[in-house]
Amino acid sequence: MKYNQKRNLIVTIVVFLAGILVGGRLLISQNSQPLGYHNVSNVIDGDTVRISEEQRVRLIGIDSPEKGECYYHTSTQALKELIENKIVKLEKDITDKDDYGRLLRYIVLLSKEGDDILVNDYLVRKGFAKTFAVSPDTKYRDLLSSAQQEAYKNKLGMWGECNYELENQGAREVDTEPVDPKCTIKGNISERGYGKIYLIPGCVSYNSVKIDTRKGEQYFCTEQEAEDAGFRKAINCP
């Protein structure tokens, strides 16, 4: 009797442990998608996608035609064909989200052959989008600028089909000096979507950010002045 009880106990333990093992394998299988990788559930337009019902992603460094503009549908369709319903890797620069709650990311399309595609670069290089570098998110600025020059030179995509020209070349190079040398807080305004931020000396990108007063950008003497004017502190500041 004791032998049978011991045998039953052993069988019960083995079955229990097997259940845990199988359950663990199922759990791992259900959550096997690596951290940082996401499925693109749908493409909203040529530079914005959705990875869940609640979360949208805005591609950094580029700007595709808006609805109603030349090449809007072609640009949107190109992005759909490239990454919709596919697994991609999201790469962050400095800023996490824009004022609309969208993640600001570079998107990498994985390839089984190992030749992964930086989607931001692909769209500019093929003429589906323009470059749109906004400090402090300029990690691939030179790469994207080179891609745009190539697309423009060869009249690819929007450059050949529409009347687009390279606008404001060098406009961001205008760098206004502060009127008061004691007022060195930079109030920077992005052209689209990223909002108004201010940078104090010591911020990672402080020296590279130029202030163009023609666009409403300005210098402030105190952080409180900047905040009262509607600017928020850049996240790469101490």
**Which pLDDT band, with edges at 50, 70 and 90, does 174 fall under?**
low
Which pLDDT value is given to residue 165? 84
- Chain segment 66-113, per-residue pLDDT in tens: 999 999 999 999 999 999 999 999 999 999 999 899 999 999 998 777
**Domain contains 13:** no
State pTM to two decimals: 0.60
Same structural domain, 134 and 46 = yes
What's the total number of domains in the chain?
2
Domain extent for 184 = 173-233
How is residue 137 annotated by DSSP?
A: B
Q: Is 194 or 114 the better-scoring residue by pLDDT? A: 114
Q: Is 178 or 34 the better-scoring residue by pLDDT? A: 178
The answer, yes or no, to whether residue 121 has pLDDT greater than 70, is: yes
**Domain contains 88:** yes
Catalytically active residues are 58, 66, 102
**Residue that is last in its domain, among 101, 128, 161:** 161
Same structural domain, 131 and 181 = no
**Domain contains 3:** no
**Domain contains 82:** yes
**Domain contains 55:** yes
**Domain contains 77:** yes
**Domain contains 106:** yes
Same structural domain, 215 and 155 = no
**Residue that is last in its domain, among 140, 161, 182:** 161
Q: Taking the CA atoms of the chain, what radius of gyration do you get in angstroms?
A: 25
Question: Alpha carbon 151 to chain centroid distance?
Answer: 22
SS3 60: coil
**Domain contains 8:** no
Contact 120, 79 (CB under 8 A): no
How long is the chain?
238
**Which pLDDT band, with edges at 50, 70 and 90, does 1 fall under?**
very low
